[in-house]
Amino acid sequence: MGTVAPRVESLASSGIKCIPKEYVRPQEELKSIGNVFEEEKKEGLQVPTIDLREIDSEDEVVRGKCREKLKKAAEEWGVMHLVNHGIPDELIERVKKAGETFFGLAVEEKEKYANDLESGKIQGYGSKLANNASGQLEWEDYFFHLAFPEDKRDLSFWPKKPADYMSVYSLLFLSSFLS
């Protein structure tokens, strides 16, 4: 494995007194971010909401419109809010808890699952150290793994702690596939 990238969590807990300048966004951008949040408060949530119940409609026109909404949200937003997806709330809460537990582990434990972008291993624990549009670094640690397609799934990157991580996420993927 290549050199381990510095982690945002390690930097944040190192005793620094201020955020390093390479993470601080320009004032102009900070002002526009503030405006976006104010606009959101006025106009409400703007992320597209897709009702997946429509994808199984007996009406071909309704199914087609749902597919078009999915496609448009993916192309224009890259994200969407899905409702009526059939995944039980209890399972969603278990997934959240497993993720929170993983990110609550010591950095040394999380590093066992570190990705290695230099060698092309994108799955695993990492820090988003790429520059954003304004040239600043992102302040973010993440965990990324593939579930589908199955030939890309590498369970060696899936954490052993918490103990139920693999089973909970497997249930989520199975549930979303069968819904």
Give tens-digit pLDDT for 91-130: 999 999 999 999 999 989 999 999 888 888 889 998 876 6
Two tokens, residue 36:
């976006």
Q: Where are the domains of the chain?
A: 27-85, 86-179
Is 174:87 a contact under the CB 8 Å cutoff?
Answer: no
Instruction: Give the global pTM.
Output: 0.68
pLDDT bin (cut points 50, 70, 90) of residue 166 is confident
Q: Are 73 and 79 in contact (CB under 8 A)?
A: yes
Chain segment 32-72, per-residue pLDDT in tens: 665 555 655 666 657 889 999 999 899 999 999 999 999 99
Distance CA 86, CA 73 (A): 20
Q: Cα(58)–Cα(65) distance, rounded to whole angstroms?
A: 13
